[in-house]
Amino acid sequence: MLKTKNVKLAGITAAALVMLSACGNSDADTAGEDGLTEITVGVIPIVDVAPLYLGVEEGIFEEHGLEVNLQEAQGGAAIVPGVQSGDFDFGFSNTVSLIIATSQGLPLQLVAPGPNSTGDPEADFSGVLVPDESDIETIEDLEDASISINTLNNINDTVLREGMNQAGGDPASMDLVEVAFPDMQGQVEGGNVDAMLVVEPFKTLGENAGMRSIYAPYAEPTDDLTVAGYFASDTMVESDSETVDAFAAAMRESQQFAEDNPDATKDIMTSYITIDEEILPDLTLPSFPQEVNETSIETMIDWTVEYGLIDEAVGLEDFIYRGE
């Protein structure tokens, strides 16, 4: 069984994590004994955040004056309130969860890009997987089927609905069930759900277990999908823009490093997920851009309106941090 690892990075102690959880954004203003500004970042233990872990290991964040503490959550929807409350200085989330939060009046800003789809349905890092013996062959066959996703009201149910709509099916007919990524394969194999929407490494793990992908939910509905990114609260942006700019710059460099060093990007996953190293060569990595694709964000905003996740579109000026 695949499990997430307890994150242990140089310079991170249990006491520091407790202090960060209790104090939140105030710690971003506090320099440690080594002169580095301590920050805490809420993450999901999936391939998407590999550049962040890689940037910490390679010293990129330290070069920008930051000591990074990482805390794990099940999904971006759970990280949003952590950033809003001040438990996290920065968070990682899918774009739809951030759009929904912004529409609800939560003052959050996207400060750095995360993963993008590869744009290739035959080689993307996400997939809808079914058992090999399943009668489900295409996304149209998911009508009246049950599909596990990691959290509801996020990018995964949005792209599924859009994919079903493009195929001429009924998006409302799908029964979407919230299941953590590591538990999805067992739920499918146990017959509790018909399919699962997963990202790497869970896509490769499922395929190696005999499952097959019937749809590429990030690559097929649109080109160059911006899947997720790193964000901060307006309070953090307004009170400590220097730290926000340092984090954004370090994140861009880390994304570029990950893009240029795919083997290192795969290897770093073993530091935060318990995974058989033999499958690492089989993993499909996302694209790791250095800038936010605003056209893709606008597309996601349109879809969240269309599928009733928000009442009216949010403006990019309220959503994307453009730096000092």
Identify the bridge partners of residue 127 per DSSP, sorted by sequence position: 198
Q: For the CA atoms of 267, 269, 270, 273, what is the dihedral angle to 10 degrees? A: -170
Q: Class of the 126-215 domain?
A: alpha beta
Neighbours of 3 (CB within 10 A): 10
Instruction: Using alpha carbons, select from 234, 248, 296 the residue that is nearest to residue 101.
Output: 234
pTM for this entry: 0.83
Other C-beta atoms within 10 Å of 315: how many? 9
Q: Which residue has the higher pLDDT, 76 or 11?
A: 76
Pick the range with the lowest mean pLDDT from 59-68, 97-106, 126-135.
Answer: 97-106
CB 3 within 8 A of CB 45: no
E strand or H helix that includes residue 16: helix 14-23
- pLDDT at residue 8, as a whole number: 36
- For 310-323, how does the pLDDT look when each residue is reduced to its tens digit (9 = 90+)? 999 988 887 899 87
Is the per-residue pLDDT at 183 higher than 70? yes
* pLDDT tens digit sequence for 42-75: 998 888 999 999 999 999 999 999 999 999 986 6
Fold match between domain 3-116+226-318 and domain 126-215? yes
Q: Which CATH number fits the domain 3-116+226-318, given the four candidates 3.90.79.10, 3.40.190.10, 3.55.10.10, 3.40.50.720?
A: 3.40.190.10
Domain boundaries, the chain: 3-116+226-318, 126-215
100: its two tokens? 């929904």
Q: How far apart are CA 74 and CA 80, in angstroms?
A: 12
CA distance between the termini of the chain:
45
